């Protein structure tokens, strides 16, 4: 096993229907990450979530556009700050969670 690294888990969350310049917000965040050289990310979909306004977002049989989407990164401190700053400066309306983690690559 490689040595444990210290960094951050960064998760951006938004409903699929939220847009930034015509594209889904989560796609806009992924593009910002790629411009910073960040390739490793995980995209997750959730069946339901409740936003800050108390509105429930969910995927329905006829309408998937309101499905909650998460984009997860595990990054060092420098890349964490650069990504969050880039998303903020671009004016992308998205909720973000950042928490400290220890991580390593096994095998």
Q: For position 45, what pLDDT does the model report?
A: 85
Question: What's the CA gap between 20 and 40, in Å, rounded?
Answer: 22
Q: Mind listing the pLDDT tens digit for each residue in 16-69?
A: 889 999 999 999 999 999 999 999 999 998 766 667 677 766 666 555 567 889
Fold of 18-102: Alpha-Beta Plaits (3.30.70)
SS3 state at 53: coil
Q: What is the pTM of this model?
A: 0.84
The domain ranges of the chain are 18-102
Which of 71, 83, 94 shows the shortest CA–CA distance to 7?
Answer: 83
Question: What's the CA gap between 89 and 16, in Å, rounded?
Answer: 21
Q: For position 47, what pLDDT does the model report?
A: 63
Q: For position 101, what pLDDT does the model report?
A: 98
């Amino acid at each position: 096993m490689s040595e444990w690294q210290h960094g951050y888990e960064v998760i951006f969350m938004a409903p699929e229907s939220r847009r930034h310049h015509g594209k889904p917000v989560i796609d806009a965040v992924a593009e910002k990450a790629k411009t910073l050289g960040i390739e490793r990310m995980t995209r997750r979909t959730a069946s339901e979530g409740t936003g800050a306004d108390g509105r429930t977002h969910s995927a329905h049989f006829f309408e998937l556009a309101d499905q909650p989407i998460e984009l997860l990164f595990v990054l060092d401190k420098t890349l964490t700050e650069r990504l969050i700053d880039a998303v903020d400066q671009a004016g992308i309306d998205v909720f973000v969670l950042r928490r400290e983690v220890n991580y390593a690559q096994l095998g």
